[in-house]
Structures are given as structure tokens and as C-alpha cells.
Homo-oligomer: A and B are copies of this chain.
Amino acid sequence: MAGKAPLYRKVAGDLRAAITAGEYGSGARLPAEDELARTYGVSRGTVRQALAALRTDGLVTSRRGARRVVLGGGARLQSFEELRSFARWARSQGEEPGGRTVAVGPGGATEEEAYHLRLPVGERIFRVLRVRTLSGSPVMVERTTYPERVGELVATMDPGLASHADALEAHGVLFSDALHTIDVVPADAADAELLGCRAGDGLLRERRRSTDPAGLPVEWSQDRYLPGTVAFTVRNSSGSRAMGRSLNGS
């Protein structure tokens, strides 16, 4: 099984397991690349590819001339998949994601929508307004705009569907890249009613445009989270960066 996985992934997986199992100890030095290559019976290039992944995940450091150092395990990585889909992320956190589609329908693209979806103003698009819940409690209002070809699929979906992302992927809509902007915005009247907060309360806002491998926009979304429900986590390094989303644990 898993015979399809590339070699470097297997090496990375083994190393990750060994590190999180504490076989090297936090702060310890990793074996040299040459030695790892011998140990795993692969070339040094493959080992380096595996280590690059661990570097991105913040598990090890790297510095020319010095051995790699194991960074404290602590926070685990959250993948692009988990970041992209509220439902997948929630499940990975052991929460039960839910949702209710408040409104869905076609319309003409506003200037903002047209800009983000790279369409002419007035082009036919689909808008979806949803309330997302964790264990039954509303935590987020999601306003998404889809280009026509994607929106037509979404419009036919079950209003109670937990994950649009899964369904879209099953229809061949691929998500490849996303650009997120995170800030604070006061709740408007609609937000207040849907989330059960007061108008004017500061909400955590995430705006997101996702594109497919060909660079075509597939979604433009504006999500507003109730304070204290989620936090976004970002890991970055000189040379590599990573991000995820986490439940608020404080």
C-alpha cells in the first residue's frame, strides 16, 4: 500500500515520526544528510527534499556548516487542505462542522467581485451566504462569490451540506492557490443577527481568493468569525513559510 508515495515523502514521514516521538529530543542535532542518506538507502538529494518539507513545517532548522537542529514539536502542521475548507479543518480539530445556506442565487458581478474573479463587471456570477457552525453553535458568516461555471454546481447542492469543497472537487473543480487577507471589521446588522452578537462588535475577517492550477479564479469569499472562536496560525522562517488555522485555545 501507499506504493505510490514518492520516496522523499516516506523519508519525511519517518523523520517526522521519529522527531515527534522524541527519538532525537528537542534541541538535539539531527544526523548529517549523508548519514541519513545511507540509513534510508537513498541519495542525498532525496534526503534534502524530505528535510526541506520538515523545514517548511518548522520541525527542524538549517544552517550552512552546522548540523540541523530539532525544533520543539508543539504545534503540528495544518495543511493547505485544512486551511482551504472550513469543514475539513473543523473535522481535523475534532469538531463537528455544520452549515446553513441562508441565501444563494445568481447575479451580476460588482466591481469588487469582478476584480477578484477577473471578470467583466456585470458578468453572471453566483453568490452564497452561509452560516457555519461548530457543534451547533454559529461561529462564522461566509459570503462567497463564484464564477458562473462553479456557481452553477454550488447552486444545485444541498443547503445543509457541510463541505462545498469536497463536492466541488468531486465535480473536477480544483483549488490550487489562495491569497488570504486577515483583519478586524465591526459586525453589521446582518452579521449580528446571524451570529447572535451585537452590531459593532469586532469580528475576525478573512477574505480569500482561490484559483485553480490554470490560474483561473474559482471563488472569492469573505468570512467573518465571532471573536474567541478561531485563531489563524502562521509559521514562517527565513527561507520558508507556512500557515494554518487553529481553534482558539485561551
A237 touches B178 (CB 8 A): yes
From 225 to 239 in chain A, residues with beta carbon under 8 angstroms from any chain B beta carbon are 225, 227-228, 230-239
In the bound complex, CA of A242 to CA of B235 (Å): 9
How far is B236's CA from A56's CA once the two chains are assembled, in angstroms?
12
What is the bound-complex CA distance between A69 and B214, given in angstroms?
A: 6
Chain B residue at smallest Cβ distance from A183? B231
A75 to B181, CA, bound (A): 11
Would you list which residues of chain A between 179 and 231 have a CB under 8 Å from chain B? 179-186, 201-204, 211, 213-216, 225, 227-228, 230-231
B202 touches A233 (CB 8 A): no
Q: Which of B61, B75, B214 contacts A179 (CB 8 A)?
A: B75
Interface residue count on the A side (C-beta < 8 Å): 58
Q: Is A241 touching B238 in the complex (CB atoms < 8 A)?
A: no
> Contact partner of A180 among B69, B213, B235, CB < 8 A?
B235
- Are A227 and B75 in touch, CB under 8 angstroms? no
Q: Which residues of B contact A216 (CB under 8 A)?
A: 27
Report the separation of the CA atoms of residues A29 and B165 in the bound assembly, to the nearest whole angstrom. 27
Q: When the two chains form their complex, are residues B181 and A233 in contact, meaning their CB atoms are under 8 A apart?
A: yes
* Copies of this chain, tallied across the complex: 2
Contact with B along A74-108 (1 / 0, CB 8 A): 11000011010000000000000000000000000
Question: Provided the pairs A72-B215, A118-B72, A227-B183 are in contact, do residues A236 and B178 lie with their beta carbons within 8 angstroms?
Answer: yes
Task: Answer whether A241 and B72 are a contact pair too, CB < 8 Å, given A185-B227, A227-B185.
Answer: no
Contacts of A241 on B, CB cut-off 8 Å? Answer: 56, 80, 241-243
Q: Does A70 contact B (CB under 8 A)?
A: yes
Determine if B202 and A235 form an interchain contact, defined as CB atoms under 8 angstroms apart: no
* Given the contacts A80-B237, A177-B236, A233-B179, A71 and B211 also touching, CB distance less than 8 Å: yes
B181 touches A246 (CB 8 A): yes
Question: Complex formed: what's the CA distance from A40 to B227 in Å?
Answer: 51
Chain A 10-37 interface mask (CB, 8 Å, partner B; 1/0): 0000000000000000110000000000
Do residues B70 and A215 form an inter-chain contact, with CB atoms below 8 A? yes
25 contacts between A and B (CB under 8 A): A26-B215, A56-B240, A56-B241, A58-B179, A61-B213, A66-B213, A71-B211, A74-B179, A179-B233, A179-B235, A180-B233, A180-B234, A180-B235, A181-B232, A181-B234, A182-B233, A183-B232, A183-B248, A184-B204, A184-B227, A185-B227, A201-B202, A202-B203, A241-B243, A243-B243
